Structure 1
Amino acid sequence: MTHPTPSRTGVRAWLGLPAVLGPVLLVSMDGSILFLALPSIGRALDPGAGQTLWILDGYGFAVGSLLIAFGNIGDRYGRLRLLLAGAAVFGLGSAAAAFAPTPELLIAARVLMGVAGATLLPSALAVLGELFPDPRQRARAIGIFAATFAAGFAIGPVLGGLLLERFWWGSVFLVNLPVVALFLCVAPALLKDVRATRPGRVDLVSVVTSAAGLLLTVYGLKRAAADGLSASAVTAGLAGIAALVWFGLRQRQLPHPLIDFTLFRDRVFTFAVITGLLPLAAWSATAYLAGIYLQSVLGIPVRQAALLALPGAVALTATCVAAPAVVDRIGKRAALLVCHFSIAAGLLLPVAVAGGVGWYVLSTVVAGVGYGISFAVVADTAVGAVPPERAGAAGAIAETSNEIGNALGIALLGSLAALFFRLQGPGLAPTLDETLQLPGLADTSAAAAKSAFVTGLHAAALVAALLHLALGALALRRLPRSLGGPAVMREA
């Protein structure tokens, strides 16, 4: 029996790595690429306030609510098959989004892209494990995977802004198609199929219940923020909460649950998952609101707004790449402290000062350091806090927390900003862009609308900053000085 030489195996693995990273980059990038495109989409399709938020976070909710389910499906039926099918559907959804004639169809296309994106992330990570059986090489590959995922979130707004300078808003979706086409051509030759030995079958009731609970809860919050308390908003919110509670109770009864909630008995694991969720929530909400602020309040052209986002993107990506080496020196606990306190400082900068472009750029760089750390250490911290046989479940939950955080940030903090705009704005339209587009708008009304939007932006940033300060203080008091394996946690 002959074995492939290490050199030949290595060449195939390192050729397969960029093939896997293409879809990963697209999935993360499409979570943020619309942040600077919303004003252009608003002028073209005239979506309402609620529709605007669903255009943004329908994608993230679809990805986050289905990640674990598709991880199970890939284990049973083959990761490569799921990767290929997901990439093809992602391309179709991108084409449909680019040419959507109405807000409703754009939302539907974004949800379809999110469903496809949920097939790509867990399968890509599993295929990487097959490509790199050597632990050291696998660690390097997963580090590159994490940096690519972080870079996608960071460069999404920049790329979107540069495309919008020359093309119409649909170009931010069409940019996906060449990457998808290339992946479909090279993946069958470079990648191997992977099937794990995870027992049991996917509980479809749990999948539907978790997704419905999230959507109904967020829908109720959005309606209440945009239109005030109403019977429909309260009913939807309560129904969503009930569905999520029932989902949690059901997981305790299943032999192979979709989410193993017993893992949350470990405080380090719980803290790691929250650290995966909250920074993405803060980043997505403030990046989305800042895109509107730069273009609609300060009147900065979209290309310049994109370039202003570049320093923060560079800080985030560079920190993500450098973080593993730094963590080896200072430890995970210190890294998590830096993560939360730097994000809080970055979020508070534009609130504490009069504002302006310079302070905005500085705040994105300071916060970007914290965001980069969160990308780099969350999964490793979560997996290291549980026994080895439960590492797969821990990693899946950590990945899911990132995507859910991305969607919840826009949904919850974006709704908070919308609430302030409704209460303090001139009351002529539900959003700033819709107000500014009204014919014959008085200068005083335009100024009042801009002031109300800035107040809402500052409120969202302040709430996110306070949550990060609270988490940093909690880490200082409750996390052990050495975050090792499960034994360290049990002693803590």
Structure 2
Amino acid sequence: MRDRIEPLMPADPARGRRWADHRRTLEANAWKLAVRVRPGTVVGLGLTTSAAGCVVMGAVGNGTAFLVTGVTVTAAGVGTVALLATDIVLAAAPPERAGAASAVAETSTELGAALGIASLGTLSTVFLRTGLPSGTPAADTLGDALREARDHGTTAVSAVREAFAQSLQLTLLTAAAVLVATAAASFLALRNIRIGEEHNTEADRLT
């Protein structure tokens, strides 16, 4: 796979050498792991790791430390899957269709991200509206709700903030459940796929 796109990439910079491009280094490590334990296992573990990060943010506790930890863990899992998924698509496509395969993978990534953001955003809004106590002013956004609540006293403001926090927690837990289900589906779908040792030459050079 790498030999198809290597000629199109810039030469390694003098400074930093093999560690100058972090993405290529991470990609190489993901490939080495996938060669040893199967791609389905790596993808499943990555998605499960992201689910764990969502649980940390949504259920374990509040505060900056939990937020930073949860975001870091979630990004690590998603990053592993993102780095490996495109390469799996390119490796499965014949050389003459590598460009089309890359375009499909990129389009799928963008479409999935847009649908995920829209779905979770809508879900969070629904949780927020249903979580507001009776008598609390309704609004389309958190900012509007807080502006309306300030006219009704500090109790209404606290209720809006609490409802918003609960809506985020429920949304994150829902996302975690979806990630776990996707991890299981990915593991089963990719369980019989192996990456050949020939793909590991570039990974050994980078790491």
Q: TM tier, shorter chain? A: 0.7 to 0.9
| Structure 1 match to 2:84 | 377
- Does the 8 Å contact 2:59/2:173 carry over to 1? no
Distance 1:371-1:138 versus aligned 2 partners, 3 A rule: farther
- Does the 8 Å contact 2:59/2:169 carry over to 1? no
Distance 1:136-1:423 versus aligned 2 partners, 3 A rule: closer
| Structure 2 match to 1:434 | 144
CA displacement 1:375-428 (0-9 Å, x = unmatched): 312211112223333332221111012211232222111000101111122233
2: CA distance between counterparts of 1:436 and 1:321? 45
1:201-280 matches, within 5 Å, as: none
Aligned partner of residue 355 in structure 1, secondary structure: coil
1:445 aligns with 2:148: no
| Structure 2 match to 1:397 | 104
* TM-score normalised by the chain length of structure 1: 0.33
- Does the 8 Å contact 2:124/2:171 carry over to 1? yes
1:331-350 matches, within 5 Å, as: 331=34, 332-350=39-57
| Structure 2 match to 1:329 | 32
- Does the 8 Å contact 1:342/1:366 carry over to 2? yes
Per the TM alignment, residue 136 of structure 1 is displaced from its structure 2 partner at its CA by 6.9
Per the TM alignment, residue 321 of structure 1 is displaced from its structure 2 partner at its CA by 4.2
| Structure 1 match to 2:58 | 351
CA displacement 1:209-239 (0-9 Å, x = unmatched): xxxxxxxxxxxxxxxxxxxxxxxxxxxxxxx
1:54-453 matches, within 5 Å, as: 135=4, 137-138=6-7, 141=10, 320-331=23-34, 332-425=39-132, 426-438=136-148, 439-453=150-164
- Greater relative contact order structure (CA < 8 Å, 6+ sep): 2
1:464 aligns with 2:175: yes
1: CA distance between counterparts of 2:90 and 2:6? 18
Percent of aligned pairs sharing the same letter: 31
2: CA distance between counterparts of 1:321 and 1:388? 21
| Structure 2 match to 1:58 | none
- Does the 8 Å contact 1:385/1:484 carry over to 2? no
Per the TM alignment, residue 437 of structure 1 is displaced from its structure 2 partner at its CA by 2.2
**Runs (5+) with no aligned partner, structure 2:** 11-20, 197-207
Per the TM alignment, residue 363 of structure 1 is displaced from its structure 2 partner at its CA by 0.4
CA displacement 1:144-195 (0-9 Å, x = unmatched): xxxxxxxxxxxxxxxxxxxxxxxxxxxxxxxxxxxxxxxxxxxxxxxxxxxx
Aligned partner of residue 457 in structure 1, secondary structure: helix
* TM-score normalised by the chain length of structure 2: 0.74
AA of the residue aligned to 1:463? T
Distance 1:346-1:322 versus aligned 2 partners, 3 A rule: farther
Distance 1:441-1:348 versus aligned 2 partners, 3 A rule: same
Off by >4 Å, runs of 4+ in structure 1:
none
- Does the 8 Å contact 2:44/2:187 carry over to 1? yes
**Runs (5+) with no aligned partner, structure 1:** 1-133, 142-316, 486-492
Distance 1:445-1:370 versus aligned 2 partners, 3 A rule: same
Distance 1:321-1:442 versus aligned 2 partners, 3 A rule: farther
AA of the residue aligned to 2:120? L
- Does the 8 Å contact 1:383/1:391 carry over to 2? yes
1: CA distance between counterparts of 2:60 and 2:164? 16
Per the TM alignment, residue 361 of structure 1 is displaced from its structure 2 partner at its CA by 0.4
2: CA distance between counterparts of 1:321 and 1:365? 19
1:473 aligns with 2:184: yes
Distance 1:362-1:139 versus aligned 2 partners, 3 A rule: farther
Per the TM alignment, residue 357 of structure 1 is displaced from its structure 2 partner at its CA by 1.1
Per the TM alignment, residue 329 of structure 1 is displaced from its structure 2 partner at its CA by 2.2
- Does the 8 Å contact 2:40/2:189 carry over to 1? no
Over the residues paired in the alignment, what is the CA RMSD in angstroms?
Answer: 2.8
